[in-house]
Amino acid sequence: MRLDPAGLGALATARRGRVVAFDAHRGLGELVEEHGGRFAFPAVAISDGTRQIPPGAAVLFCLVASPVGTLEAADLVALGGPSEAG
């Protein structure tokens, strides 16, 4: 289930973070936003369609409701090298 961005308000705005873990076999990852929040994400949330992203990658993302009712990262866009997140 994905909420309409208009229903999320500020949660739908782009955020910056860094991928801290990604398990390609399971298709699940975790990132930390620049303000310290930790969010899980599925491989299908990676916008370039590769379903792969290395730990340490700086990303832009938004938050959406997960199927279990928690927030998860979506629409991940890699910014390039690890040094670009700050």
Rounded to whole angstroms, the Cα distance separating 50 from 45 reads 10
Q: How confident is the model at residue 33 (pLDDT cuts 50, 70, 90)?
A: very high
Residue 9, domain extent: 5-85
Count up the domains in the chain and report the number.
1
Question: pLDDT tens-digit profile of 56-85?
Answer: 999 999 999 998 889 999 999 999 754 444
Q: Is the pLDDT of residue 24 over 90?
A: yes
Cα dist. 30→4, 7, 9, 47 in Å? 22, 24, 23, 15
Count of residues for the chain? 86
What is the CATH number for 64? 2.40.50.140
Q: How confident is the model at residue 50 (pLDDT cuts 50, 70, 90)?
A: very high
